[in-house]
């Protein structure tokens, strides 16, 4: 249950992407302010919460009460089965039908309440319904707060791979209440720390050192620290999205650790957590780049130390041939090459194009 509280001051991060401007509000107890924030940012007199079976029982009542207090006519919520297996065209179709059944109009608002799967799917439904209605993202997992709720990427999975059908659809607002993180299982929270470490490597050397000295896993219930770390992560992502909303340039650096990480994830048939795989991919790429002379050995060591401090893997047991099979089919592959992200130094990463043969050499060096 979300109660009013004072731990950790509220922080606003303003996103100014090419297609939209919006605020990300990060705080403790912020869910109670959802209605006011949505009212100021999004249009319409009606709204509808889209959530899933694990999150809805915990937070949908509080979210809807806040929306109603702000004057919204709140339509009957839409709840789908929790889990990545729901992130399919079929569920998306059901959400769209349910929005139509509730007679939401073009000026009304979808409220995406949940983790990454919910944000991606409800965001895509909002992009498609009536050719686009407002969506307010209300992330309840660490991964969704620091990454997927910000920047406008929405998608569903296809049989051929994850996130293969989607759209860029920026939210009207993002409301991140770190109090929701208290209900996240510790293993899942730890997994999401992989993306937090990645952001620090990309753009905040001081944050990386702080996280190594005191891993975020030690502070899942420390609202003040969570507000600070989540807001700093959002600001890092905001800077990238502001510069390159459509991932034609610098946004590709957010894929740091993902080339190898995605292959590890796919090789486990998605049984391993995304953040853990990104953490392992990040360390492997950093070691490979150090051995290749593209970054200093101390950079790779700093990255590994932070990953290890969070109890996340710094490598993987998957054979190179198998990793290469998945990487050859990666959706980010272009022509005969792959864009990889090189951690030249902590706080300074760059995109480099390599052939599949060069990538294989790097993976061998990183193992
Ligand atoms: N999660 C990477 C991005 O939003 O671009």
Domain boundaries, the chain: 2-184, 244-366
- Is the confidence at residue 103, as pLDDT, over 60? yes
pLDDT in tens, 121-180: 999 999 999 999 999 999 999 999 999 999 999 999 999 889 999 999 999 999 999 999
Q: Looking at residue 2, what is its pLDDT?
A: 58
Q: How far apart are CA 342 and CA 329, in angstroms?
A: 20
Confidence of residue 8 (pLDDT cuts 50, 70, 90): low
Q: Do domains 2-184 and 244-366 have the same CATH topology?
A: no
Is the pLDDT score of 198 beyond 70? yes
- Give 274's pLDDT tier (boundaries 50, 70, 90): very high
pTM score, two decimals?
0.95
In this structure, the residue with its CA closest to atom 3 of ligand 1 is 254
> φ, ψ for residue 190 (rounded to 5)?
-60, -45
SS3 category, 64: helix
* pLDDT > 70? residue 339: yes
**Distance from the CA of 152 to the center of ligand 1, in angstroms?**
9
- 332, pLDDT greater than 80: no
Please give the pLDDT value at position 43: 76
Q: Are 279 and 313 in contact (CB under 8 A)?
A: yes
Q: Which helix (H) or strand (E) holds 237?
A: helix 223-243
If one residue of 154, 251, 349 were mutated to test the ligand 1 pocket, choosing by the most ligand atoms within 8 A of its CB, it would be: 251
Q: What is the CATH number of domain 244-366?
A: 1.20.1090.10
Cα separation, 170 vs 297, whole angstroms: 39
Identify the band that residue 3 occupies on the pLDDT scale cut at 50, 70 and 90: low
Q: What is the CATH number of domain 2-184?
A: 3.40.50.1970
In a mutational test of the pocket of ligand 1, which residue from 123, 149, 153, 331 has the highest number of ligand atoms less than 8 Å from its CB? Answer: 153
């Amino acid at each position: 249950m979300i109660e009013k509280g004072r731990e950790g001051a509220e922080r606003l991060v303003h996103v100014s992407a090419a297609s939209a401007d919006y605020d990300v509000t990060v705080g403790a107890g912020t869910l109670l302010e959802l209605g006011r924030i949505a009212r100021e940012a999004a249009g319409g007199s009606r709204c509808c919460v889209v959530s899933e079976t694990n999150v809805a029982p915990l937070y949908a009542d509080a979210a809807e009460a806040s929306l109603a207090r702000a004057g919204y006519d709140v339509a009957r919520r839409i709840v789908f089965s929790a889990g990545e297996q729901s992130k399919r065209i079929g569920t998306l179709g059901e959400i769209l039908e349910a929005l139509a059944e509730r007679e939401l109009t073009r000026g009304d608002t979808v409220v995406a309440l949940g983790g990454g799967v919910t944000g991606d799917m409800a965001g895509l439904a909002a992009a498609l319904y009536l050719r686009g209605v407002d969506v307010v993202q209300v992330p309840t997992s660490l991964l969704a707060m620091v990454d997927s709720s910000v920047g406008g990427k929405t998608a569903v999975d296809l049989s051929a791979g994850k996130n293969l059908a989607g759209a860029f659809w920026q939210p009207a607002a993002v409301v991140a209440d770190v109090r929701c993180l208290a209900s996240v299982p510790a293993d899942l929270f730890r997994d999401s720390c992989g993306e937090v470490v990645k952001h620090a490597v990309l753009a905040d050397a001081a944050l990386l050192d702080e996280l190594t000295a005191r891993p975020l896993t030690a502070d899942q219930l420390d609202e003040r620290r969570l507000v600070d770390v989540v807001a700093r992560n959002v600001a890092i992502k905001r800077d990238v999205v502001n510069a390159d909303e459509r991932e034609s340039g610098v946004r590709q650096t957010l894929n740091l650790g993902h080339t190898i990480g995605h292959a590890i994830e796919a090789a486990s048939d998605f049984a391993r957590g995304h953040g853990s795989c990104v953490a392992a991919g990040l360390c492997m790429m950093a070691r490979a780049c150090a051995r290749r002379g593209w970054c200093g050995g101390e950079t790779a060591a700093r990255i590994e130390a932070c990953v290890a401090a969070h109890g996340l893997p710094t490598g993987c047991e998957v054979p190179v041939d198998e990793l290469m099979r998945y990487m050859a089919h990666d959706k980010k592959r272009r022509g005969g090459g792959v864009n990889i992200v090189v951690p030249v130094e902590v706080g300074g990463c760059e995109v480099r194009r390599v052939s599949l043969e060069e990538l294989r050499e790097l993976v061998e060096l990183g193992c």
